[in-house]
């Protein structure tokens, strides 16, 4: 059964705390793009834009009351606040992106996430019901993974590494990754190859002789 483990143990491989069993191999590893994550998950443009609009509104009112000097006195602190907010939000997104490693192996998906408290989620291919790609114009994109019934993942712990708007049925996601279309293709092909593997059932020697 898949689940999550705290990364308190030494990582034999980056992003794969317990190592891989024999026969399983890493096919791809990546992480979110910090600027894309800041835009899409942390809404950096909306937050900064809102503060800039407030700065312009206060500056405009101050100009009407006291001219350019008053406009500068009233508007500059708000512009400084907007710049500080932009820096803080970007720093949060950068720390989250730097601390996270997404992994596709020949048998599963592994997500090591969390800047303050690292957590690792393992999702075997048999638990993946579907995967959806949200591709952006510059090639970055998000691959959301729909998991089968019976597996529940915490929305709060996963955020922002999830598909927005699906709090009831949380969908973990490779968020804001580069070359997303090729990664999605690799995930699809790897999952299909694993699920199509023949199952070999050992037969006891006595049973084989009896059948003959």
Query: Are 60 and 114 in the same domain?
Result: no
Half-sphere exposure of 181 (CA within 13 A, CB side): 5
Domain count for the chain: 2
**Mean pLDDT, 10 residues at a time, the chain of 212 residues:** 46 77 92 96 94 85 73 80 95 96 95 89 93 91 91 89 89 95 95 78 52 45
- On whether residue 83 sits in a domain, the answer given is yes
pLDDT tens column, 126-150: 999 999 999 998 889 999 999 988 8
Residue 157 to residues 79, 115, 198, Cα–Cα distance (Å) = 33, 11, 36
* Domain membership of residue 52 as a residue range: 39-95
The CATH number covering residue 108 comes to 2.30.29
In whole angstroms, give the CA distance from residue 154 to residue 80.
37
**pTM score:** 0.82
Query: Are 151 and 181 in the same domain?
Result: yes
Query: Are 91 and 148 in the same domain?
Result: no
In whole angstroms, give the CA distance from residue 117 to residue 84.
25
Query: Are 104 and 78 in the same domain?
Result: no
């Amino acid at each position: 059964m898949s689940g999550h483990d705290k990364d308190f143990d030494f990582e034999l491989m980056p992003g794969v705390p317990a190592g891989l069993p024999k026969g399983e191999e890493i096919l791809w590893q990546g992480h979110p793009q910090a600027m894309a994550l800041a835009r899409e998950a942390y809404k950096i443009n909306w937050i900064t834009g809102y503060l800039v609009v407030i700065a312009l509104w206060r500056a405009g009112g101050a100009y009407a009351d006291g001219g350019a000097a008053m406009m500068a006195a009233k508007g500059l602190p708000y512009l400084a606040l907007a710049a500080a907010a932009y820096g803080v939000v970007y720093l949060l997104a950068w720390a989250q992106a730097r601390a996270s490693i997404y992994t596709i192996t020949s048998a599963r998906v592994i997500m090591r996430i969390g800047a303050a408290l690292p957590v690792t989620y393992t999702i075997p291919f048999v638990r993946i019901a579907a995967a959806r790609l949200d591709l952006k114009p510059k090639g970055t994109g998000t691959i959301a993974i729909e998991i089968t019934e019976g597996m529940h993942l915490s929305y709060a712990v996963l955020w922002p590494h999830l598909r927005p708007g699906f709090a009831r049925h949380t969908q973990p996601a490779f968020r804001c990754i580069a070359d997303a279309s090729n990664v999605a293709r690799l995930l699809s092909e790897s999952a299909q190859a694993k699920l199509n593997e023949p199952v070999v059932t050992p037969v006891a020697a006595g049973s084989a002789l009896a059948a003959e």
